[in-house]
Structure 1
Amino acid sequence: MKENRTERDSMGEMAVPADALYGASTARAVENFPISGTPVPPPLIHAYGRIKEAAAEVNLELGLLEPGIAGAIRSAAAGIAAGRYDDQFPVDIYQTGSGTSTNMNVNEVVATLCRRVGVTVHPNDHVNLGQSSNDTFPAAIHLAVAMQLRDHLIPAMLGLEEALKGKAAEFSEVLKIGRTHLMDATPVRLGQEFGGWARQAGLAASRGRKAQKALMELPLGGTAVGTGLNAHPEFAARVIAKLAGSTGLPFREASNHFEAQSAKDACVEAHGQLATIAVSIHKIACDLRLLGSGPRCGLGEIRLPATQPGSSIMPGKVNPVIPEAATMVAARVAGNQTTVAWCGAGGFLELNVSMPLIAHCLLESILLLGNVATCLQEKCVAGIEANTDRCNELIELSLSMVTGLVPAIGYDAAAAIAKESVATGRTVRELCEERLDALGLTPDALDAALNPETMTGSG
């Protein structure tokens, strides 16, 4: 049995683990919400530390806090922002919808750290001065998500883009058959396919920036309901300026605090960009495993790197495990999109009451997408090889090669050749070579019409 100490809050006494930095309010929340076992994500706690640090600085400048108290709060909050006390934030995601339990968790840890250096600090009167859970928690969401987008997801997508561009250049001369509806189409270059995926990855990075842009307004200063009660009129602008300076992101005060606190449309918009990125990741991953299927009885136009044995019963089997992981990430992000939209609809009058779950979904989606993009880049794309012989073989077998003949012999005659190719199993080229005179073609004209390189355009 762990030893406890007794702490008090406005509801009375509460047993708190003796070694915990938090107090009665946090312990009460831990007892009230034994739901998922998953605490609020660390990046949100780190963002909260930044907010409390900046708030203490501003309250000192405004003459609302004594220098000793402000200095102690700043030091403690900086430690939280740096991640030194992550184990002191145990409150479950599924808690009060305003995030009050987490805000008080931060306030109590800061107050305890201050007491440890000999400064008496009250979690509400001093640490929370000029603030409310209702404006700090959504501000922490925006801060944490914007920073994770910048530092994690966007670089990962740019890295994947560069890897795919590299393969596009490497495979620029590899000719293969294209496919629409999963059926044979006219030839393309393998490099063109990789170039398309590279563009998707690059646009994904741009969408990450769009998501970031949606989060630049912070609701700090609105306090409980958006009116700014108990906050100094200069508090919000000054705190947000400090946050913009310390993060390098252009945060600004919300133009309408009632919208900023009662609605979470910006979060829904931001996750919509993440959902689109997930769709791009899914497309790239599925295409890679289709082209790599086989190795002998599938398409087999590329060889994916072998990363681990694929079967406990079939010796030598190797599966496309990295693309499969990517498709599961996409599925999870799609689920998070539904959750965020549903939570965004949970704004009632002056407050949204689903904010901790919104924060969790946004940060989880960013983490998963960033991590799996890096996995795709490093463990899959970097090691892909072209199976040139297989690509050439399938081009000659394709019925769609006949498309190149249409300008010379007409659609109906070309269709008849394609049907005969299906019926006989012979290639389009073989059938045409037997009836050059009937088609009005010379050998050189036939070769030119059936040249897959000229069918791929400018490349």
Structure 2
Amino acid sequence: MTKMRIETDHLGRRELPADAMIGIHTRRATENFDVSGIRLQDFPEFIRSLAMVKKAAAATNRELGLIDPAIAQAIDRACDRLITGEILAPHFPIDMIQGGAGTSTNMNVNEVIANLALEALGRPVGSYEVVNPNDHVNLSQSTNDVYPTAIRLTVLREGEVLVAALQALVTALRSKGDTFAGIVKVGRTQLQDAVPMLLGQEFEAFAETLEEDVAHFLGTAELMREVNLGGTAIGTGVNAPPGFSAAICAHLSMMSGIAVRPARNLVEATSDTGAFVTLSGALKRTAVKLSKICNDLRLLSSGPRAGFGEIRLPALQAGSSIMPGKVNPVIPEMVNQIGFQVIGNDLTVTLAASAGQLQLNAMEPVIVLNILQSLRLLVRGLDALRTRCIDGIEADAKRCQALYDGSLVLAAALNPFVGYAKATAFAGRALAEGIPLREAVERDSGLSAAQIDAIFGAGVVKS
């Protein structure tokens, strides 16, 4: 039989396995918040950020003479084991959606760090009279400054991964733009033939719109550098000594390699979630653009014979259980769905941010979950779109030329020579008689052969 230990709090007693790194608060949280099936352990990057905050706090408390150096050192070593990923699952089992404004997440980390520190000191886990989750690991802190700081740190670190994925996709799209630079095709508005363009221009536009989002995200992420550490419960700094805020930010910046700074007004920073709304909006913007690009890829590759068929996407898997030979644009479809999820996540963040009351927003856990999920989905979606779709796209130049030759897209180029009304008439006649536009122009326009050659030559496409 498993040997058990008893832990108590002001609500009563709970049994835990004797060697469990979690404590009574984590146990109660697993009982109370079993709803989404998405656990803290599913986001190791968030656990590492929480451990970095705890490590910085231990160093600051030691520096200010608030904690025994041996205990501070043991906490430091415990934090390092979380930061390196040596200790993660199954010690972080609580649901990401939880009441208490993230208190259970903070206490889960406090309890694990305390018990790892006890282990390092050669003491049994649960010997909280030696290293206590609240009195030592959480010293000079509150969930209300630790939790939002950790998510900001996570966004700054994971944001670097997102930017790298975006830049890699931009490079891949730009490469296709160069490859397809000489292919003339039909440009379309409202799904109707419009004016000529180059297939390369289409892919260059995809690259440009996502490159804009790199700069936009980096600017937005700067908001994450302002943290409310040292504000403790509501920003007034209760139980934190003078100078703690500046000191812990300095330690955290050095330890994490990411510069953070104390907020100008810690009370405001503790209750405000505006930076999360802005950040989530930036992620939504990228998701919207990605979804539009994927819509275009699906249209441009539609067919293979009865659709546009201007490009060929890599064939990855059978597309039907009943239609032989069918291949679907599965990667763009997947990325479309990622986009929908991120857009929905942004709405959740917005609603949760608007639900704040007085000095704290108790809905921060669902804000954290949705932002982390959006970041993860976008990074994985960007990588899949690049490696399993964009890199393997081929152009069907003959199909592009055939559609171009049979279209009326050069009608607009007639305007400077014959005027809008006559150009419209030529287009209408060509459409009604089923003849090429050039033939209608040659028959009735009175333009010289040289003028007609100039209008219908590839030079009308502006690069």
| TM-score, structure 1 normalization | 0.96
**Native 8 Å contact 1:262 1:349 kept in 2:** yes
2:127 matched residue in structure 1: none
- Are positions 1:59 and 2:61 aligned together? yes
Q: Determine the C-alpha separation between the residues in 1 that align with 2:387 and 2:302.
A: 20
**2:211 match:** 202
Give 1:456's aligned residue: 461
Which residue of structure 2 lines up, in the alignment, with residue 215 of structure 1? 224
Structure 1 Cα separation of the partners of residues 291 and 228 of structure 2: 35
Match of 1:80 in 2: 82
Return the letter of the residue paired with 1:134.
N
State which drifts further: 423-432 or 294-303.
423-432
Alignment check: 8 A CA contact 2:226 2:261 kept: yes
| TM alignment of 1:365-380, pairs within 5 A | 365-380=374-389
- Aligned residue for 2:419? 410
The partner residue of 2:146 within 121, 136, 141 is: 136
> 8 Å contact 1:50–1:243 — kept in the other structure?
yes
CA contact (8 A) 1:97 1:352 kept: no
- Amino acid across the alignment from 2:22: Y
Shift of 1:281: 0.6
Q: Letter of the aligned partner of 2:259 in structure 1?
A: P
Work out whether residues 153 and 208 of structure 1, in 8 Å CA contact, stay in contact via their aligned partners in 2.
Answer: no
Asked if the contact 1:210/1:273 (under 8 Å) is kept, the reply is: no
Return the match for 1:350 from 332, 350, 359.
Answer: 359
For 1:167 and 1:173, the matched residues in 2 are separated by: 11
> CA offsets per residue over residues 157-204 of structure 1, 9 Å max, x none?
000000001011111111101001111011001111111000122122
Q: What do the CA deviations read for 1:199-241 (whole angstroms, capped 9, x no partner)?
A: 1221222222123112111111011111001101111211111
1:442 corresponds to which of 429, 443, 448: 448
| Pairing partner for 1:159 from 152, 168, 174 | 168
Q: How far 1:445 moved relative to its partner?
A: 1.4
Q: Distance in 2 between matches of 1:19 and 1:175?
A: 69
1:123 to 106, 129, 133: 133
Count of paired positions: 453
CA distance in 2, matches of 1:395, 1:3: 77
* Cα separation, 2, equivalents of 1:425 and 1:18: 85
Distance 2:86 2:364 in 1: 24
- Matching residue of 1:15: 15
Distance 1:84 1:102 in 2: 19
Cα deviation, residue 57, structure 1: 0.8
Moved more, 83-92 or 62-71: 83-92
CA drift of 1:83 comes to 2.3
Quote the offset at 1:10 in angstroms.
Answer: 3.3
Mapped to 1, the partners of 2:418 and 2:110 lie a distance apart of: 80
Residues 25 and 199 (structure 1), Cα distance of their counterparts in 2 relative to 1, 3 Å cut: same
1-structure distance, mates of 2:212, 2:199:
20
Q: Does residue 303 of structure 2 align to residue 301 of structure 1?
A: no
Q: Secondary structure at the match of 1:172?
A: coil
Q: Residue 5 of structure 1: CA displacement?
A: 2.7
Q: How far off its partner does 1:3 sit?
A: 5.6
Which amino acid in the other structure matches residue 132 of structure 1?
S
CA contact (8 A) 2:52 2:256 kept: no
Residues 97 and 369 in structure 2, CA contact (< 8 A), matched pair in contact too: no
284-293 vs 11-20, greater mean Cα deviation:
11-20
Question: Partners of 2:313 and 2:399 in 1: how far apart?
Answer: 14
Moved more, 219-228 or 206-215: 206-215
Letter of the 1:190 counterpart: L
Note the 1:33-72 alignment, pairs <5 A. Answer: 33-40=33-40, 41-72=43-74
8 A Cα contact 1:207 1:274, kept in partner: no
Provide, for residues 97-152 of structure 1, a one-character-per-residue CA deviation record: whole Å limited to 9, x for no partner: 410011111111111111112262111111000000111111111111111111x2
Which range moves more in the overlay, 85-94 or 321-330? Answer: 85-94
- What residue identity is the alignment partner of 1:165? R
- Aligned pair in 2 of structure 1 residues 148, 395: CA closer, same or farther (>3 Å)? same
What's the CA shift for 1:85? 2.4
Q: Are 2:239 and 1:237 equivalent residues in the alignment?
A: no
**CA apart distance, 1:444:** 2.1
AA aligned opposite 1:168: G
* Match among 130, 146, 150 for residue 156 of structure 2: 146
Residue 254 (1) aligns with residue 263 (2): yes
| Residue identity in the other structure for 2:114 | A
AA aligned opposite 1:8: T
Distance 1:9 1:82, change over 3 A: farther
In the TM superposition, what whole-angstrom CA distance separates every residue of 1:307-337 from its partner, at most 9, and x where no partner exists? 1111111111111001001100000000000
Matched with 2:292 is 283
Paired residues of 1:226 and 1:257 also in contact (CA < 8 A) = yes
